[in-house]
Chain A
Amino acid sequence: MSAVKNDMINVLSQQEIDAIEAEIEHLPDRKSAAIDALKIVQKYRGWVSDDSLRATAKLLEMSDEELDGIATFYSLIYRHPVGEKVVMYCDSVSCWIMGGNKVRDRLKEKLQIEPGQTTEDGKYTLLPVTCLGDCDHAPAMMVGDDLHHDLTPESLDKIFEEDA
């Protein structure tokens, strides 16, 4: 590793480093904390940039490639910037049967973005997700950490009004 990359450890805050080290303590080796470390970085920053990924890899004594392979495998680790909240609507079969497409179309119309995009004000990123485990109340979605179910196009308006 070059000296430049060595410095990148400064990219991470002390809180992040402490939180990651705390995870490592429970594990047989540093690499095993990879997913937890990525989640911690994402918690503080909303996403995992190239710089924070390299810094985290250094901290875990892994190569950038090894950690990036893990980071990119999981669709909920964001390697691109996202809005303040991520809106994840389910596009699996139960939600689809119960009118999920209408919910999706209303979300697109309301936020004026396509799935995968972020609103201009940086508030929301819209992403499809494969099942939120709430099939008995389909269609379902999450806005940030909140789960919403039995969605209709009308109920969406209320949710976003309250969220605003």
Chain B
Amino acid sequence: MPTIIVDGISYQVDANDNLLEALLGLGLDLPYFCWHPSMGSIGSCRQCAVIQYQDEDDQQGRLVMSCMTPVTEGAILSIDAEPAAEFRSAVIENLMINHPHDCPVCEEGGECHLQDMTVMAGHSMRHYKGLKTTHRNQYLGPLLNHEMNRCIACYRCVRYYQDYAGGTDLAVFGSRGRVYFGRHEDGVLQSEFAGNLVEVCPTGVFTDKPLSERYTRKWDLQSAPAVCTGCSMGCNISVAERYGELRRIHNRYNSEVNGYFLCDRGRFGGGFVNHEDRIRRCGVRNASGVYDPVSKQQMLEKVSALISAAGSKVVAIGSPRASLESNHLLGKLVGRENFYSGLSGREQSIINAIYAIQQTGGARIPTLREVEAADAVLILGEDVTNTSARLALSLRQTVRNRSKEMANQIQIPLWHDAAVRKLAQDEKSPLVLVTASEDRLEDVSCLTHRAGPDDTARIGYAIANIIDNRYSRPADLTDNEQTLAASIASILKNAEKPLIISGSGSLNLAVVEAAANVAWALKGENKDSGLIYCVPECNSLGVTMLHDGNSNNLDDLLSGSDDIDVAIVLENDLYRRAGSTAINSWLGKVKNLVVIDQLDNPTASVATLVLPAASFAETEGTLVNYEGRAQRSFAAFLPQGDIQGSWQWLLDIADQVGTQKFGSIRQFDQVTEDIAAQNAALSGVTKAAPDASYRSGAGQKIARMTHRASGRTAMVADVTMYEPQQPVDNTSALAFTMEGANLIKPGEVPSSLTPYIWSPGWNSNQAIIKFQAETGGALTDSDPGVRLIATASPVADLHTRHTTIPAITRHQGGSLQLVPGYHLFGSEELSAYSKAIAELTPRGYFAVHPDVAGQLGVADHDGLETQINGANVQLEVVVSESVARQCVVYSYGIDATGELVHEKRGTFKKAESWESSRPSNLIMSDR
């Protein structure tokens, strides 16, 4: 490690860093704008100048831009030298010439990197007396505000949007003093990752629109460390509240998972917490079908009476979107044999297979950071951008590894962003897509093949067989399949760290098994192969691990003939997972349906008793992500009314019933400990985060509010002049106050309990630099979460495991293969209730290839109908060249598509009476 001398003090730094990274990594303060740890340097803003001296005799030195200067052994530098400080102060004064004096009304105020850097650079008096440039702002959709006058032209937004996230509809226009960052014309930003501009922009040009509608300054928000429930990636988020409402979701850095960025479902999908359809009171359905509110105690007595009635048959349905704790207690209350995972049989068999594959140790399960290190990628039947968006953003970095290789060959440092990109031009590491319909990653893929799920599996099997002929080979491979598989196999064999991605998205077991074969075969060739499975929901893997992949599933229950006295449904809308006919006929056998949920969904609407459950923002819970990482999520605020965490409801019910099954379990942490004790696979969950007894070095709990939260005493001044006592948090080490351990003193707050990011002088999220062991690296006290699936050495004879190869898909007497099509906005249950997301959700549809449309006699905007298990489903037709022939792609989770998820095939005909009912708001990313 080279030694550098900064203002007379010697430091050891990383030779691969530029000076700015190195100096920031040492904890020194140096202002910057255009550099970003994930995006490297372009030397555009000139803000990070320091003096570099030739040698010890050099008294003068010269100005260098630290972000553009490599670390060299023995470099003598000064940040504090007068000429450097003066230069930086002049630069910021220049950048501020057109910046308005609107901090008091700007959403960025109080967490503005520009404010911080202006103060740091010492610019406190303006000399400029002229007019400021004024711009017209654009409408950019429901997620982001645009206020161009605040721009300081650092170019970070376009570098992030185009270069990092692969978007094409945000650019810079004009030149000189007139540059404008925006779109060609007003319109919704098309990138699924546009929301990150809120944090990437160093000032208030791009701000969070839903937040500004009910605005609160960062310092007045009450925050908690949480885990996103939008998909199975498990991105770490900071959830913030004011006046009992969720106000915004911000990124919470985890170097192994989401790094600096979220997807827009994650950032804006939390709006459901404030939705008018939230269930806030306990309700009992009366004879006329209306819910009468009852008190919490009355409800507990009713539920308890039902459960305790002699000879009562009680069953329970868990949920892949509920925490481990809630699912565990539900299973404990009714007994394992009466617990059903809440996944459909089809879904459960696929996820069981995934979990079994992960346990073989046949291939690594890469973290998202590791994904970015792969040198070839094969995606089999998973629309990653729409099911697990954050992974897609990582893959957009993965394909850049070729350019990094090229840069290494001629010794261009990798942080030298513009140079590395210029050198590589369009050269990319290979990414191969085999999907049933258009995929947003096609612009970075070297080979895209369109195939329905069964045919996708066949290609996967063929690839594995070509790599290692002990793996099963499809018997009747066509020449086309053979050629395709051979070329993909050769791409993968040329790589050192090939990555195979698949998942439950195509609802096809063979696809999942084929993907494992490819990864295992590559491992057999001594490749460091990785294998990722995207699973549908935030805790799909967790609820599967809870019973070691042996849970009963929803179909087991629905197909049973037993009469049931009480069925308890935990956070699960059954109508999304099975046909309505099957559910309704089962409900005929259920005397009392008890639903514990957050929103008034179709299942809650037919319940006998409804118990209001807390959302992820209002209670604690442990979730297991796609890689088997257990992460604890904490409440940002306590919910109003009778709402409480599902786990708390179950504890209260057990207490009321007086069951002995729960032993001494009364507290959240005891539930987690019980999970660890009862399930070998989950024995690590207690290590996901410190328990409620954790105290800082000074013996304090951790404050959810900032130390300068203002106006708490005035919050209820319209009701009483006395400040009520803050609620007490007995379930975690966090407190609902500004008093306690906070971020002022480094090391006081463990990373998994960090509610928001802040450091003295660093009010924006860029303060994270102060909490990293090295710039852009792991957090000082390690990244949150604990991985539960050990990477053991592979079990023997993996090639004998998966041998059931589907036949080639042919037209079968007018029946077509049903394939779910996913949408980042709309396919996930809860986020779809968020107002901003709902605005971007497309209408439900059946998408078909033009050939198929011709055969069926339909065109765009016509209707198609199908009879499935007694239900008639009609949706609008979308005709697209990019749908595989023999397939009908339907909008998963949008409109009446719950009827379809069970079926592999369907017979379609034109819906003669079809009339499109909603205005079209399909955006490009939805096609």
Residues of A participating in the B interface, judged by any CB pair closer than 8 Å: 1-2, 29, 50, 53-54, 62-66, 68-69, 72-75
Residues of B within 8 A of A29 (CB): 426
Q: Report if B128 contacts A (CB, 8 A).
A: no
CB-based nearest B residue for A29: B426
| A-B interface, 4 closest residue pairs, ranked by CB to CB distance from nearest | A63-B168, A65-B171, A64-B184, A69-B171
Contacts of A64 in B (CB 8 A): 169, 184-185
Other-chain residue from B171, B426, B924 in contact with A66 (beta carbon distance below 8 A): B171
Contact across chains for B924 and A68 when beta carbons are under 8 A apart: no
Contact B175 A65 (CB under 8 A): no
Set B168, B170, B174, B185: member contacting A72, Cβ < 8 A: B174
The answer to whether A75 touches B175, judged by C-beta atoms less than 8 angstroms apart, is yes
List, in ascending order, chain B residues with CB within 8 A of A53's CB.
184
A112 to B642, CA, bound (A): 75
Interface centre among B172, B173, B185, B924 (most CB of A within 10 A): B173
**Once bound together, how far apart are the Cα atoms of A72 and B185, in whole Å?**
13
Q: Evaluate whether A72 and B173 lie within 8 angstroms (CB atoms) in the complex, with A1-B924, A64-B184, A65-B184 already known.
A: yes
DSSP class of B's interface residues: helix, strand, loop or mixed?
A: loop
- Do B169 and A68 have beta carbons less than 8 Å apart? no
Question: Please, what's the 1-or-0 string for B169-195, where 1 marks a CB less than 8 Å from any CB in chain A?
Answer: 111111100001001110000000000
Q: State the CA gap A59–B300 with chains docked (Å).
A: 67
- Neighbouring B residues of A69 by C-beta, 8 Å: 171-173
Nearest Cβ on chain B to A5's Cβ, whole angstroms: 10
Q: From residue 394 to 448 of chain B, which have CB atoms closer than 8 A to chain A?
A: 426
* Known interface pairs A63-B168, A68-B184, A69-B171; 17 further A-B residue pairs with C-beta atoms within 8 A, sorted by A's residue number: A1-B924, A2-B924, A50-B185, A53-B184, A54-B184, A63-B171, A63-B184, A64-B184, A65-B168, A65-B169, A66-B168, A68-B171, A72-B175, A72-B180, A73-B173, A73-B174, A75-B175
Shortest CB-to-CB span from B189 to chain A, Å, is 10
Main secondary structure of the interface of A (DSSP, over half): helix
C-alpha spacing A68/B173, complex, angstroms: 7
Chain A residues in 8 Å Cβ range of B170: 65
Interface centre among B173, B180, B184, B924 (most CB of A within 10 A): B184
The winner among A53, A54, A72, A74 for most chain B CB atoms within 10 A is A72
Complex: how many Å from CA A58 to CA B266? Answer: 33
Chain B residues, Cβ within 8 Å of A2: 924
A75–B179 Cα gap in the complex (Å)?
12
Instruction: Identify 24 residue pairs between A and B in the complex whose beta-carbon atoms are under 8 Å apart, listed by A's number.
Output: A29-B426, A50-B185, A53-B184, A54-B184, A62-B168, A63-B168, A63-B169, A63-B184, A64-B169, A64-B184, A64-B185, A65-B168, A65-B169, A65-B171, A65-B184, A66-B168, A68-B184, A69-B172, A69-B173, A72-B173, A72-B175, A73-B173, A73-B174, A74-B175
Which of chain B's residues has its CB closest to A64's CB?
B184
Residues on the A chain within 8 Å of B173, using CB? 68-69, 72-73
Task: Give the distance to chain B from A27, nearest Cβ to Cβ, in Å.
Answer: 13
Question: Which of B169, B171, B426 has the most C-beta atoms of chain A within 10 angstroms of its own C-beta?
Answer: B171
Q: Is the CB of B183 within 8 A of A65?
A: yes
Interface flags, B137-172, vs A, CB<8A=1, else 0:
000000000000000000000000000000011111
A73 and B175 alpha carbons, distance in the complex (Å): 5
The docked-state distance in angstroms from the alpha carbon of A64 to that of B924 is 14
Give the distance in Å from the alpha carbon of A42 to the alpha carbon of B174 in the complex.
17
Task: Give the CA-CA distance A63 to B183 in the complex, in Å.
Answer: 10
Which residues of the partner chain A approach B180 to less than 8 Å between Cβ atoms? Answer: 72
| Cβ-closest chain A residue relative to B161 | A65
Q: Which residues of B contact A50 (CB under 8 A)?
A: 184-185
B185: which A residues are within 8 A, CB to CB? 50, 64
Nearest CB of B to A3, in Å: 9
Find chain B residues with CB under 8 A from A65 CB.
168-171, 183-184
Closest residue of B by beta carbon distance from A53? B184
In the complex the two chains form, what is the Cα distance from A64 to B172 in whole Å? 12
State the Cβ distance, A59 to closest chain B Cβ, in Å. Answer: 15
- Residues on A with beta carbons closer than 8 Å to the beta carbon of B924: 1-2
A74 to B175, CA, bound (A): 8
> Most chain-B Cβ atoms within 10 A of its Cβ — which of A1, A2, A68?
A68
B169: which A residues are within 8 A, CB to CB? 63-65
How long is the Cα–Cα vector from A72 to B183 in the complex, in angstroms?
Answer: 12
- Residues in B whose Cβ lies below 8 Å from that of A1: 924
Q: With a CB–CB cut-off of 8 A, which chain A residues contact B168?
A: 62-63, 65-66
The closest CB in chain B to the CB of A75 belongs to B175
Query: Which one of A66, A69, A74 has the highest number of Cβ atoms from chain B below 10 Å of its Cβ?
Result: A69
With a cutoff of 8 Å between Cβ atoms, the chain A residues found around residue B175 in the complex are 72-75
- A73–B176 Cα distance when bound, in Å, is 9
Nearest Cβ distance between residue A77 and chain B, in whole angstroms? Answer: 11
Rounded to whole angstroms, the CA-CA distance of A133 and B175 in the bound complex is 21
Docked complex Cα distance between A1 and B185 (Å): 14
Q: Mark B6-19, 1 if CB is under 8 A from A, else 0.
A: 00000000000000
Please measure, in the bound complex, the distance between the C-alpha atom of A2 and the C-alpha atom of B927, giving whole angstroms.
10
Bound Cα distance A63, B170 (Å): 9
- Shortest A75–chain B CB gap in Å is 7
Bound CA–CA A100/B168 (angstroms)? 43
B174 contact set on A, CB distance < 8 A: 72-73
Interface residues of B in 183-235 (CB under 8 A from A): 183-185
The chain A residue with its CB closest to the CB of B172 is: A69
Please give me the residue from chain B that is nearest to A67 by CB atom.
B184
Give A51 Cβ to nearest chain B Cβ, in Å.
11
Q: How far is the CA of A68 from the CA of B184 in the complex (A)?
A: 7
In the bound complex, CA of A1 to CA of B927 (Å): 9
Q: Tell which of B180, B185, B924 has the most Cβ of chain A within 10 Å.
A: B185
Residues of A within 8 A of B171 (CB): 63, 65-66, 68-69
Shortest Cβ distance from A2 into B: residue: B924
Q: How far is the CA of A53 from the CA of B185 in the complex (A)?
A: 12
A67 smallest CB distance to B (angstroms)? 8
Least CB distance from B44 to A in Å reads: 15
Closest residue on chain B to residue A65 by CB atoms = B171
Per-residue CB contact flags for chain B residues 495-522 toward chain A (1 = under 8 Å, else 0) read 0000000000000000000000000000
| Measured CA separation A50–B924 after assembly (Å) | 20
CA distance A63 to B166 in the complex (A): 12
Residues on B with C-beta less than 8 A from A68 are 171, 173, 184
Question: Which chain B positions have C-beta within 8 A of A74?
Answer: 175
- Chain A nearest CB from B382 CB (Å) reads 25
Q: How far is the CB of B631 from chain A (nearest CB, A)?
A: 37
The answer for the CA separation of A65 and B171 in the assembled complex, in Å, is 6
Question: Chain B, 913-927, contact with A by CB distance < 8 Å: what is the 0/1 string?
Answer: 000000000001000
Contacts of A72 in B (CB 8 A): 173-175, 180
| A136, chain B: closest CB distance, angstroms | 27
B177 smallest CB distance to A (angstroms): 13
CA distance A72 to B171 in the complex (A): 11
CA distance A74 to B172 in the complex (A): 13
**How far, in whole Å, are A120 and B318 apart by their CA atoms in the complex?**
76
In the assembled complex, how far is the CB of residue A148 from the closest CB belonging to chain B, in whole angstroms? 27
Complex interface: chain A residues within 8 A of B184 (CB): 50, 53-54, 63-65, 68
A68–B172 Cα distance when bound, in Å, is 9
- Distance of B871 from chain A, by nearest CB (Å): 32
Cα A62 to Cα B426 in complex, Å, equals 14
Give Cα A65 to B924, complex, Å: 15
Taking CB atoms and an 8 Å cut-off, the chain B residues in 881-927 that contact chain A are: 924
Look across to chain A and name the residue whose beta carbon is closest to the beta carbon of B923. A2
Bound-state CA distance A69–B169 (Å) is 11
Question: Which residues 837-891 of B sit at the A interface, judged by CB distance below 8 A?
Answer: none
Nearest CB to that of A68 among chain B residues?
Answer: B184
Q: How far apart are B850's CB and chain A's nearest CB, in angstroms?
A: 14
Please name all residues of chain B whose beta carbon is closer than 8 Å to the beta carbon of A66 when the two chains form the complex: 168, 171
Complex CA distance for A53 and B172, rounded to whole angstroms = 16
Least CB distance from A63 to B in Å reads 4
A2 to B924 alpha-carbon distance, docked (Å): 8
Complex Cα gap A2–B169 (Å): 14
Q: Which residues of A contact B183 (CB under 8 A)?
A: 65
B13 to chain A, nearest CB (A): 37
Closest to B169 in A: A65
Alpha-carbon separation in the docked complex, A121 to B170 (Å):
38
